[in-house]
């Protein structure tokens, strides 16, 4: 039994055939630069290696047909498909869990596009193309926001006029929910404890970065907010900042709302601070060589990270585990060391050697809470949710 996991953006489609039991990815494919002039290539990867072929199509529909064609070239694998799972960034307040896609669900995703104009329209193009190409299979939407729908109102409301919440949906939604949910579950397995008994902070540190406070398997607070721009410092995103900065830049700097938005999303974060790159591997090496911008970028990143971990720790009476995941969280011993060095007041102590080797458990024996490094696997979560809903195992 296999699932096709799809991540469709406004100009790209990424697909993977995943075994929901083992988590093994049997085959993957991606297409980029859709909507632009060709040539476009479908790049496939499986046991036999990587190969690329030119496609005639330049839109989602055509690209998806090429994906199906490539899949059908491996009939044994194609026959085992039981469902298609689609990653969807924003489900608004409509979705507390993954959902079987029908016309109503498509409409709700379309309504939520007002909250995620950069993401949901691309997801919808992919969903429509995939449903058209594979009408016989059930399709499931797996939302980045759904896991955080359990936040209590005092955690999801901003202290702004109530009418903004009622009329414009201004509230904290939170993102990376599929990753936070997966690593929290995996951490409870690794700790040999029931999720219901655990208070965890999960740190998804990739190009985008967010934390979640998870109590008994439910998200009760998170750092990303109305959009994925809030909270931690990220690769090119600023994370939280005084909103008055925006008005100052408009009034004094003469910048347009569009220019400020672009700068906060694409030219800030580690990249903006260092003036070099958003890549922590390069920043670590340059900082070591004495590059002041690289050093500052990593310091601001780790200061903000520790500060938010401290803030989220107030959600619980005790913290059982801190879990690092995604590109930076899984690989940067330096970031973990710099952040945890600031968390002595929470009783967190790292074992430097285990941390340096990226081991799964990296806390020292005297640490008051476990510290873990857990590779994330969003595709596996998408595959498992899709299997359950496709087979009617979940209402």
H helices present in 199-243, as ranges: none
Nearer to ligand AMP, 151 or 184 (CB): 184
207 binds ligand AMP (CB under 6 A): yes
Instruction: Choose the stretch contacting ligand AMP; rule: CB under 6 A; options: 115-123, 240-248, 279-287, 377-385.
Output: 279-287
206 binds ligand AMP (CB under 6 A): yes
Distance of CA 251 to the CA centre of its chain: 34
The set of residues, in sequence order, having a beta carbon less than 8 Å from that of 296 and lying 6+ positions away, is 273, 274
Distance CA 382, CA 370 (A): 27
Print the binding letters for residues 156-195 with ligand AMP: x by CB under 6 A, - otherwise.
----------------------------------------
Number of residues that bind ligand AMP (CB under 6 A): 12
- Pick from 280, 309, 313, 371 the residue near ligand AMP by CB under 6 A: 280
Q: Which residue is at the shortest CB distance from ligand AMP?
A: 327
Query: Is 189:313 a contact under the CB 8 Å cutoff?
Result: no
279 binds ligand AMP (CB under 6 A): yes
CB 270, min distance to ligand AMP, A: 7
Distance CA 21, CA 343 (A): 37
Ranges within 317-336 binding ligand AMP (CB under 6 A): 326-328, 331-332
358 binds ligand AMP (CB under 6 A): no
Distance CA 368, CA 307 (A): 18
Nearer to ligand AMP, 66 or 178 (CB): 178
CB 6, min distance to ligand AMP, A: 18
DSSP secondary structure of 324-372: EEHHHHHH-HHHHHHHHTT-GGGT--B-HHHHHTT-SB-B-TT-SSEEE
Distance of CA 81 to the CA centre of its chain: 25
Closest by CA position to 137, among listed 64, 28, 53, 58? 64
- Residue 144 falls in the annotated catalytic set: yes
Binding site for ligand AMP (CB under 6 A): 206-207, 235, 278-281, 326-328, 331-332
Catalytic site positions: 144
């Amino acid at each position: 039994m296999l699932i096709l996991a799809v991540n469709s953006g406004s100009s790209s489609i990424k697909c993977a055939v995943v075994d929901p039991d083992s988590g093994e990815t049997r085959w993957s494919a991606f297409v980029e630069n859709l909507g632009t002039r060709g040539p476009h290539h479908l790049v496939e990867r499986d046991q036999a290696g990587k190969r690329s072929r030119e496609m005639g199509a330049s839109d989602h529909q055509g690209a998806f047909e090429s994906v199906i064609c490539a899949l059908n070239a491996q009939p044994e694998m194609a026959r085992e498909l039981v469902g298609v799972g689609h990653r969807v960034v924003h489900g608004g307040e409509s979705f507390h869990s993954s959902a079987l896609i029908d016309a109503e669900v498509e409409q709700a995703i379309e309504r939520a596009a007002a909250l995620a104009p950069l993401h949901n329209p691309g997801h919808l193009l992919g969903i429509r193309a995939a449903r058209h190409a594979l009408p016989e299979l059930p399709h499931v939407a797996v939302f980045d926001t759904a896991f955080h729908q359990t936040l209590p109102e005092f955690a999801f409301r901003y202290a702004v006029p109530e009418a903004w919440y009622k009329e414009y949906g201004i509230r904290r939604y939170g993102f990376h929910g599929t990753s936070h949910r997966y690593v929290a579950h995996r951490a409870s397995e690794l700790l040999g404890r029931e999720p219901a008994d655990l208070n965890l902070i999960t740190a998804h540190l990739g190009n985008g970065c967010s934390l979640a406070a998870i109590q008994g398997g439910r998200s009760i607070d998170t750092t990303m907010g109305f959009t994925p721009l809030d909270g931690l410092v990220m690769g090119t995103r600023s994370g939280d900042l005084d909103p008055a900065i925006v008005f100052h830049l408009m009034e004094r700097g003469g910048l347009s709302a569009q220019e400020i938005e672009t700068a906060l999303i694409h030219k800030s974060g580690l990249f903006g601070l260092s003036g070099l790159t958003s890549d922590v591997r390069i920043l670590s090496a340059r900082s070591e060589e004495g590059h002041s911008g690289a050093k500052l970028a990593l310091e601001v990143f780790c200061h903000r990270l520790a500060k938010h971990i401290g803030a989220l720790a107030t959600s619980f009476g005790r913290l059982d585990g801190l879990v690092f995941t995604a590109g930076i969280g899984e690989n940067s011993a330096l970031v973990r060391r710099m952040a945890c060095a600031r968390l002595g007041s929470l009783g967190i102590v790292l074992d430097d050697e285990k941390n340096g080797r990226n081991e799964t458990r990296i806390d020292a024996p005297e640490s008051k809470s476990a510290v873990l490094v857990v590779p994330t696997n969003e595709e596996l979560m998408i595959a498992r949710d899709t299997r359950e809903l496709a087979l009617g195992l979940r209402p």
